[in-house]
Structure 1
Amino acid sequence: MGKVLSHMTMSLDGYIAQPDDNPAELFEWYGAGDTSVPSGNDDIEFRVDEASAAMLRELTEGVGALIAGRRLFDITDGWGDQHPAGSPVVVVTHRPPSDAAERWPTTTFVDGVPAAIERAKQIAGDKDVTIASANVTQQALELGLLDEVCVSLVPVLFGSGIPYFSTLPGGHQLLEDPEVVQGRRAVHLRYPVRR
Structure 2
Amino acid sequence: MSKVFSALAVSVDGDITGRDPGAGRGLGDGGTLFVVSHPPAPEISDRQNLVTTGIEDAIAAARETAGDKDVAFMGGGVVTEALKAGLVDEVVLHQVPVLLGEGRPFFWALPEQVRLRLVEAVPAPGVTHLHYEIQR
The TM-score bracket by the shorter chain reads: 0.7 to 0.9
Structure 2 stretches lacking a partner, 5+ long: none
Which position in structure 1 is the counterpart of 2:14? 65
Partner of 2:36: 92
Look up the SS of the partner of 2:64 in the other structure. helix
Alignment size in residue pairs: 135
Q: TM-score of the superposition, structure 1-length normalised?
A: 0.62
**Could you tell me which amino acid in structure 2 is paired with residue 194 of structure 1?**
Q
Query: 1:86 offset after TM fit, Å?
Result: 3.2
- The superposition leaves residues 74-109 of structure 1 with CA deviations (integer Å, 9 ceiling, x where unpaired) of 1x1653xx7248311011012335874xxx122111
Greater helix percent: which structure?
Answer: 1
Unaligned runs of 5+ in 1: 1-47
* Larger mean Cα displacement after TM superposition, 131-140 or 82-91: 82-91
CA 1:159 to 1:166, structure 2 compared with 1: closer, same or farther past 3 Å? farther
Per-residue CA deviation, residues 42-67 of structure 1 (Å, 9 max, x unaligned), is xxxxxx4xxxx210011111111100
Question: What is the Cα deviation at residue 154 of structure 1?
Answer: 2.0
Whether the 8 Å contact between 2:34 and 2:50 is mirrored in structure 1 is yes
> Residue 77 of structure 2 corresponds to which residue in structure 1?
135
| Residue in 2 that maps onto 1:5 | none
How many percent identity over aligned positions? 34
- Does the 8 Å contact 1:90/1:108 carry over to 2? yes
| Rg (Cα) greater in structure | 1
Corresponding residue for residue 24 of structure 1: none
Structure-2-length-normalised TM-score: 0.87
Q: Name the CA distance, whole Å, in 2 between partners of 1:107 and 1:156.
A: 29
1:163 aligns with 2:100: no
Partner of 2:61, secondary structure, is: helix
Q: Per residue, is there more strand in 1 or in 2?
A: 2
